[in-house]
Structure 1
Amino acid sequence: ELDQYQEAALRTWNTNQDFGGRVLNAALGLSGEAGEVADIVKKAIFHGHGFDPAHCPGEEEGNTHKIALELGDILYYISIMSHEMGYTLEDIAQMNIA
């Protein structure tokens, strides 16, 4: 399933850049999305929003749902970066638990 996700993600990836540009794009995307997760967590803890979906002003689905969406964005960029480095998502997952 991971490799199928990666194949789907690659259909939307901009390959009109050289290798360095593609890697930089993926790295910045990954970093930016991780920062968005950190910001949601910061607001949940330090601004008193909490992690209850009903306590996130302006978010109908709540901040836990927003975190899940951002994690999906992170998975997208991990998928792309893995591909650019010559690995499948399955390869990466297996390396991590080996």
Structure 2
Amino acid sequence: MDNAVRKILNQYQKDAARTLNRDTENPLNNYLLGIMGEVGEVIDVIKKHLYHGHDLAKLPEEVGDCCWYLAAICTTAECGDLGGCWRLSSCRQRDLEALALDAWTGVNNIRLCFHCVLPGPAGRGDTLRTAVGYLLRVLSAMCEAAGGDFLRVLDANVEKLWRRYPEAFSAAASRGRATSGDPSASL
């Protein structure tokens, strides 16, 4: 099963790479800010579920968006494939509240790889791969704890990206979502 998940993650990374923003001066900072924002959205969905009685309907889409940023970080930082990152980590938590806290720890570990470790792919190496793998495992466990299917989340995210960016990412298409009626435009 784990080998199958790794293969699916590697294919997901290839599919996600089609929509990378290649016209930005510092793409890694873009993706770091993105993963921080998306993990915040995942945590907010869980907080509202636990303490305000909301359902978890938005969780799969937010988890998918987090996975896209993790794929973008791995691709851009040249630190290997998502399947390899997955192999390096594990997550034993099954409680949504603890997983939400673990997600924030995971995103901070990724951030620290870029600001406290030697610059360049060689300096980040296994530290970044392990941090990405840990956050992937946390996101997968969140899906499971909420009764969802992590691999289905990845498929749905790729489908959304194909609808949103049929050719490739473009800043104009991204800006146009806010007025196009795209239900995920506020993401």
Taking the aligned partners of 1:26 and 1:8, their CA distance within structure 2 comes to 16
1:80 paired with 2:72, answer yes
The residue that corresponds to 1:43 in the other structure is: 48
Contact 2:32 2:73 in 1 (8 A): yes
Structure 1 alignment gaps of length 5 or more: 50-62
The residue that corresponds to 1:22 in the other structure is: 27
1:8-19 paired onto structure 2 within 5 Å: 8-18=15-25
The percentage of counterpart residues that share the same residue type is 34
What SS class does the counterpart of residue 16 from structure 1 fall into? coil
- TM-score under structure 1 length normalisation: 0.75
1:32 aligned to 16, 29, 37, which one? 37
Q: How far off its partner does 1:4 sit? A: 1.1
Q: How far off its partner does 1:70 sit? A: 0.5
Structure 2 alignment gaps of length 5 or more: 1-7, 91-129, 131-187
The residue that corresponds to 1:69 in the other structure is: 61
Taking the aligned partners of 1:30 and 1:83, their CA distance within structure 2 comes to 14
Structure possessing the higher relative contact order (Cα contacts under 8 Å, 6 or more residues apart): 1
Q: How far off its partner does 1:85 sit? A: 2.0
Q: How far off its partner does 1:47 sit? A: 1.7
Deviations 1:52-89 (A, max 9, x none): xxxxxxxxxxx423101100000100011111221111
The residue that corresponds to 1:91 in the other structure is: 84
* RMSD after superposition: 1.7
Taking the aligned partners of 1:33 and 1:26, their CA distance within structure 2 comes to 10
**Runs of 4+ that moved beyond 4 A:** none
Q: State how many pairs are aligned.
A: 83
Partner letter of residue 29 of structure 2? L
Taking the aligned partners of 2:71 and 2:65, their CA distance within structure 1 comes to 10
Q: 1:64 to 1:48 in 2, by over 3 A?
A: closer
1:7 paired with 2:23, answer no
Taking the aligned partners of 2:76 and 2:89, their CA distance within structure 1 comes to 18
